[in-house]
Amino acid sequence: MSNSWWEIQVLGDPSLEDTVFWRLESFGCRGMASETKDDSCLVRAYLPQEQAEMLDLAALSLWLRQDAIAIEMQPPVTGWHLIEEEDWSSSWKQHWETTEIGDRFTIHPAWLPPPEAGDRIVLKLDPGVAFGTGAHPTTQLCLESLEMRVGIDDSQPVLADIGCGSGILSIGAALLGASKIYAVDIDPLAVRAARSNQELNGISSDVMVVEEGSLDRAIELAGSPVDGILCNILAETIVELVPKMDVLAKPETWGIISGVLLEQAKPMADVLEQHGWVVATLWKRGEWCCFNIRRS
């Protein structure tokens, strides 16, 4: 039934949170949220019923156990049940709160009362079924990297956001002062969420262009090299895209690349360097890392 969703619940040691997020994302889950339960972490994730059978969910449970055993941790407890479409979003939204990220951003759930005025940039967000709530370490690392690149001087860079998801990075860049962002995603639901969040934050379509597609579509939209490239998707996909990034790059172009597990960092660095990129810094949080790169 297309109007039903699996709610998957994973209860385990807090140190497993990053690994659980990665596994659920790889499995195809759309919305994810976590909360602390005594000394444990409870992660909830959501997946359309039509995308998984009971055997698939049993396999997911086994993979989560194996992931924990591989790093010598107590395996988590995994369960699932069906909920109706009109219930799934509110089910996870009630566990998501306003979050401060880095030195400048406050990520604020759009359905909550406005936060008190302060010095931080308030980024309103309703991700729907798209990835990018600000809760995941890769999103946080990318936003913190953006703070170091955009809005620190008078430059107003032009950016491309490949795999924009909820639009959180593009919106963050626009709020920091980017003059143009070409945001693309292959998932039409993500495109819809990004456009909705763009409107929530009062960002003009002249500044943020959101379209369905991948790197090739961003190249078409931009028409010429950009100042910066944002890419927070799975490492396997990034490896496939890196050779094509040359078209978007000029000698001064920089990039923020994430969605990469620590164990994938060396192969990713090798691929980047083979295609003319220098890894300026490598930041990590939990099991994840973020590459800040520039042209060699």
What is the block-wise mean pLDDT of the chain (296 residues), using blocks of 10 residues? 79 91 88 82 88 86 92 92 68 73 91 84 80 79 95 90 94 96 91 94 97 96 97 90 95 95 92 96 90 94
* The pLDDT value given to residue 206: 96
List Cβ neighbours of 24 (8 Å cut-off, separation of 6 or more). 8, 10, 32, 43, 45, 60
202 and 75 inside one domain: no
Element (H, E) at 190: helix 188-200
Q: In what order do the strands lie in the sheet with 180-185?
A: 208-212, 180-185, 158-162, 228-232, 254-261, 288-295, 277-285
Residue 157: CB atoms within 10 Å? 20
258 and 169 inside one domain: yes
Question: Residue 37 is part of which domain span?
Answer: 4-93
61 and 160 inside one domain: no
103 and 87 inside one domain: no
* The pLDDT value given to residue 4: 83
Q: Is the dihedral of CA 247, 251, 257, 260 positive or negative?
A: positive
Question: Model pTM?
Answer: 0.74
Number of domains in the chain: 2
133 and 241 inside one domain: yes
- 200, 143 in Cβ contact below 8 A? no
121 and 253 inside one domain: yes
57 and 113 inside one domain: no
* The pLDDT value given to residue 148: 93
For residue 125, what is the domain's CATH number?
3.40.50.150
CA distance 159 to 229: 6
At which of 76, 93, 110 does a domain end? 93
84 and 123 inside one domain: no
CA distance 285 to 292: 14
